[in-house]
Amino acid sequence: MTQLNQVFLGLGSNIDPRWNLLRCLDLLERIPGAVLEDESSWYRTRPWGVEDQAEFVNLVVGMRTALEPMELLRATQAIEVELGRKRLLRNGPRTIDIDLLLFGDRVLAEPDLSLPHPGLTERDFMLIPLIEIAPETLHPVVGRPVAELQGLLRYRQILSCAQSAPRPGTA
C-alpha cells in the first residue's frame, strides 16, 4: 500500500478571492493521489510585501497525498496557471497563491521549494490557520508543535476571521 504523506497548504487570493479560492479547493480535490481532509476558517489579511493592493483572503488546508513534494508543487502550480495566476510583481496581486507549508516531516531546500515554508513561523496568516486545524503537528525544524510557535511571529496581517465560505452544493 502506498504511504500517504500529511501535507498542509496555504492558499491566498486578492483578485475575486471567494470565487478563486472555491475553485482552487475544487481543483485540489481532483489531484490524483491526493485527498483533501481539513480546511481552516478564511482570514481577511493585509497584503504582505506590496502594501498598495487589495486585502487578501487566506486559509490553510490539510491533505494526504502519495505524491512527492516536487510532484505536488507541479500540480499546485498547474492549478495557479489554470486560475490565471500571473507572476508580474513579487508579492503583488494574484488570483491564487498556493504554498506548500509542511510536507510530513520533510526538510527540503531546493531552488523552487523549501520545506517547511520559510514564512510559516513568521507570518500569522500561515501559522494561525494551521494551528486552527492541526495544533499538535510538529514543525520538523523547530521540533515543537505548531501551537507553541506563535511567539516566533514577526508579521501580523490578519484583520479578521470568518467561517469557511460555503461550497456549492453544501448546506
Give the Å distances, CA to CA, from 91 to 11, 54, 55, 59, 140. Answer: 14, 12, 12, 17, 26
Residue type, 132: E
Cα distance between residue 78 and residue 116, in whole Å: 21
Q: What b-and-e string marks burial along 137-157, b requiring 16 or more CB atoms within 10 Å of the CB? A: bebeeeeeebeebeeebeeeb
Q: Which residues are marked as active site?
A: 85, 94, 97, 99
Cα distance between residue 62 and residue 37, in whole Å: 6
Nearest Cα to Cα of residue 67 among 141, 7, 23, 140: 7
